[in-house]
Structure 1
Amino acid sequence: MDILSDLWLGAQTAFSVWNLLYCLLGVFLGTAIGVLPGLGPTATIAMLLPVTFGLPPETALIMLAGIFYGAQYGGSTTAILVNLPGESSSVVTALDGYQMARNGQAGTALATAAIGSFAAGTVATVLIAFFAPALSAVALTFGPHEYFSLMVLGLVASIVLASGSLLHAVGMVLFGLILGLIGTDINSGEMRFTFGRFELADGISFVIVAMGVFGLGEILSNLENEQGRSVTLSKVTGLMPTRADLKRMVAPVTRGTLIGSVLGILPGGGAMLASFAAYALEKKSSKTPERFGKGAIEGVAAPEAANNAGAQTSFIPMLTLGIPSNPVMALMIGALIMQGIQPGPSVIEEQPVLFWGLIVSMWVGNLMLLVLNLPLIGLWVKMISIPYGFLFPAIVAFCAIGVYSLNNATFDIWLMAGFGFAGYLLRKLDCEPAPLLLGFVLGPMLEEHLRRSMLVSRGDATTFFTRPISAILLLLAVLLIVSILAPAVRQKREEAFTDED
């Protein structure tokens, strides 16, 4: 009965007029961002963080969450229609979705993506409602030792699951940890790594780093490598799949939902990894694998279900443990901190309106995506043809205004510009910036729990290995490191990195 009363509380929150409007705004913006290649939910949420200052915490998170899972849907639209994935997680959808469009089945492919996303989102929302409180209850038993070990595991997992060079991923995490140390030491009160700049006494704002690395860095990269966009379809028909199509969707959607729900929880996993895994499973288990890549409906249903489920279950570790499983969840934690809420297992107990309102809003948002986006396909197709030269000045101006509004200081704008240039250089050096953001968010918390642990144990570092939960978490981190250092796994990773180049 408790779960029903909690969901009723969430429904009262999610169905309030303002929260419905902001949820609608979030999924609309998310879809638009997903349609436009080169922006993405990470950069968009980073740019919109200053806007959320004046909103209630639950309203802010509902809108930001809508942007995230709305972008997963929007990316599939252009992947299917013009073979140009708006999101990295939609790359797999383009393999069969675009071929279906060329075969005159664009409507069926879009409907498959919509139905698969809605079904997966509904199941993932139920999983969050049932499993997140239980996980949070377990996490409440954690002390500083367990939290330190958990964050070490999260950082190691983000290194293991990051794409590209292993050495680059380690470097990015360490860079993020160092940036997180800038500011005033919480124990001694001394300023450190500030180079005498008083503006850095409180550390570097999360918004500045996120906007610079992901916003401006993405813009500079896109200006150098802007892709041509050619829209070949002006009208889409046949949006209602046949009974035979629906029958062929059921099993792939089910398997994709399960894969996405599991992989979404893993640090560094999420939507992209889930969509690739779901597609590989469908192709391997199919009796006719030769159909894949030529317009197989299973090749659209499975990855779309997986990426939407992965996007939503990635909220579980963020809400219950305060651990971000991907860069967007790191931004969500930043939004909570800016609202004065400490992420972690106490959120469910101390902020039930926020937690349950967000969960119910996910189902509402997925329903909005299903109802709104198919009729708006014509609008999304027109948006693809907007020249990037008209988009980027507005984005830069919005970033500058948002950062200036933090402290009314021009120093913050210059700092953001510096991080933007750094983000561009990182992309040129094939360094994925996502681990940097995770290290930056977890760094201060990692240091805090480490110092607390050492104070409690009077400087005895072996206490991390004598406490059972802490020892298990550290053992898992070691096993992950050993697995990635295995010759076969290392060779395969390097081959994949070479192929990307």
Structure 2
Amino acid sequence: MELLNNLALGFGVAFTLTNLLYAFGGAVLGTLIGVLPGLGPVATIAMLLPSIYALDATPALIMLAGIYYGAQYGGSTTAILINVPGEASSVVTALDGYQMARKGRAGAALAAAGLGSFFAGCVGTIIIAAFAPPLTELAFKFGPAEYFSLMVLGLIGAVVLASGSLVKAISMILLGLLLGQINTDVISGVPRYSFDIPELTDGIGFVTIAMGVFGFGEIIANLSRPAEHREVFTKDVKGLWPTLQDAKDAAPAVLRGTALGSILGVLPGGGALLASFAAYTLEKKTRGRPGQVPFGQGNIRGVAGPEAANNAGAQTSFIPMLTLGIPPNAVMALMVGAMTIKGIQPGPQVMTSNPELFWGLIASMWVGNAMLVILNLPLIGIWIKLLTVPYRFLFPSIVVFCAIGLYTLNNNTFDLYAGALFSVVGYAFFKLGCEPAPLLLGFILGPMMEENLRRALLLSRGDWTTFMTRPLSAGLLIAALLMIVVVMLPAIRNKREEAFQDEG
């Protein structure tokens, strides 16, 4: 009954004209950004963070959330049409979606992705509404020791679940942790590693790193690819709706993807990206009907399953951010930044101190998902037209908007230079095949880990056993240790490498 009352409060907030407009604006912008090759929700939200200073907290977060799940939808469009995933979790969609487009079945692939995403998004939102309160109760039991152990588990989870090389993932996290140390010491108030540069005494801005590595870095990486390698199938898009047989094939894949994505989305570091890889692997292992198109040659299950999983994961990744104040992925880290900008301390007290914000955000997800289906299916022609804009016009305009966004952060050219430096770093990561997301997680969680470690040791008078004598903290550290042991087992390690090679 309490849940219904809370949802009634949430829909009351979500259905105000202002919030509906911001939800719609976020959904449109997110889809637009998802459709642009190589630009994902991280770069977009990073670009738009300065604009939320003028907004109230609720419409600001509703808009940013709309951008996030809008980009998850839009990313599938370029993956299917031109084999360029709009963002990381659409990589798997490209494997079969692009092959369907080559066979003139882009419409069916886009519809399967859109409808699968809508169903998964709705289920993910129900899970947030149902499980956020009990998780919040648990969050009140967390002290500094538990928070430190949880962050250790999150970082190890990010390493274990990162695609590609374990060594590269560990290197990325360590680099993020080191960059997070450039700031003023919390306890002594002394600047660290600032090299007498005044702008570094407050640390490197998260937006600067995100925009440099993801925004500028992705643009440079895209421009380095020869144009002739891109093949657009806009002329072949016909018959938006899948056939009855397509629907029968895709429905079980959507259900499996939704279940998998809902669980994995809550994990720190994994989220939507891991969910889409895992769903594709599951579909390959699941027996299909006789005579079905093989995977990698245009199987609709290879589009529907991962798309459902990545959208369910995108929704449930809000749970640890809203209830514990801990971002499970780079986008949620930006959402935490947005809440901090608006003077809201992310964590368990949000639900009690800002119920309108908390439940309004959850209700707006349903509204946003419905808007996205309406946008993505009938208006697919508009997104396809966008893909025909020449790159020589598209990318300079994106760079200009990024530069304006960076400058307006502090009205300081230092952020522009830092962004330019990180764009080179981002391009280097692209050439080396490093996934930059763990770097952002390390950068965000590093200072928080250090703060909670020192606080826990101060409270226990320097006794390190406090992390093992507190049951919750000990449980989290044991889970982290088990994760390391499991991934180090030769059979698991080989399976993991094989899985990522298959999908690579």
Distance 1:196 1:20, change over 3 A: same
Partner of residue 49, structure 2? 49
- Separation in 2, partners of 1:327, 1:181: 18
Contiguous gaps of at least 5 residues in structure 2 = none
Cα 1:105/1:424, change in 2 over 3 Å: closer
The residue type paired with residue 175 of structure 2 is F
Alignment-derived partner of residue 314 in structure 1: 317
2:385 to 370, 382, 385: 382
**TM-score normalised by structure 1 residue count:** 0.94
Task: Output the amino acid matched with 2:224.
Answer: E
2:427 alignment partner AA: Y
Give the Cα separation in 2 of the matches to 1:286 and 1:207.
Answer: 45
**Other-structure match for 2:137:** 137
CA deviation string 1:197-229 (max 9, x = no partner)? 222222222211211221122222222225543
Which amino acid in structure 1 is aligned with residue 222 of structure 2?
N
Structure 1 residues 31-52: Cα deviation after superposition (integer angstroms, max 9, x where no partner): 1222221111111111111122
C-alpha distance in 1 between matches for 2:122 and 2:210? 30
Work out the CA distance in 2 between the residues paired with 1:213 and 1:79.
Answer: 21
* Structure 1 residue 107 corresponds to structure 2 residue 107: yes
Aligned ranges for residues 49-198 of structure 1 at < 5 Å?
Answer: 49-198=49-198
- Structure 1 residues 180, 54: closer, same or farther in 2, change over 3 A? same
Deviations 1:204-258 (CA, angstroms, capped at 9, x unpaired): 2221121122112222222222554332333644334455544443322211110
Matched, 1:399 2:402: yes
Shift of 1:497: 7.0
**Correspondence for 1:284:** 285
Within the alignment, does 1:476 sit opposite 2:479 as a pair?
yes
1:139-193 deviation per Cα after TM superposition (whole angstroms, max 9, x unaligned)? 1111111111111111111111112222222222122122222222121111111
Identity %: 64
Tell me how far apart the structure 2 counterparts of residues 95 and 288 of structure 1 sit (CA, whole Å). Answer: 20
Deviation at 1:499, TM superposition (A): 7.8
Mapped partners of 1:409, 1:452: distance in 2: 34
Which whole-Å deviations, capped at 9, do the CAs of 1:355-385 have from their partners, x for residues lacking one? 1111111111110111122121111111112
CA distance in 2, matches of 1:261, 1:3: 19
Structure 2 length normalisation: TM-score?
0.93
Say if 1:304 and 1:196 are closer, same or farther in 2 by CA, change over 3 A. same
Cα distance in 1, alignment partners of residues 93 and 497 from structure 2 = 24
Count of residue pairs brought into register by the alignment: 501
Residue number in structure 1 paired with 2:411 = 408
Say if 1:163 and 1:432, in contact at 8 Å, map to a contact too.
yes
Structure 1 contact 165–493 (Cα < 8 Å) conserved: no
Contact kept in structure 2, 1:230 and 1:385, CA below 8 Å: no
Query: Does the Cα contact within 8 Å between 1:216 and 1:396 map onto a contact in 2?
Result: yes
Q: Deviations over 1:2-56 (max 9, x none)?
A: 2122112211221111211111111111112222211111111111111222111
RMSD: 2.2
In structure 2, relative to structure 1, the CA distance for the partners of 1:163 and 1:281 (3 Å cut) is closer
Write the letter of the residue equivalent to 1:107.
Answer: G
1:300 is displaced (CA, Å) by: 2.6
Give the Cα separation in 1 of the matches to 2:94 and 2:201: 47
Is 1:30 the counterpart of 2:30 in the alignment? yes
Q: Which stretch has the larger CA shift, 382-391 or 228-237? A: 228-237
1:427: which partner in 2?
430
C-alpha distance after superposition, 1:433-452 (max 9, x if no partner): 11111111111211111111
Distance 1:78 1:135, change over 3 A: same
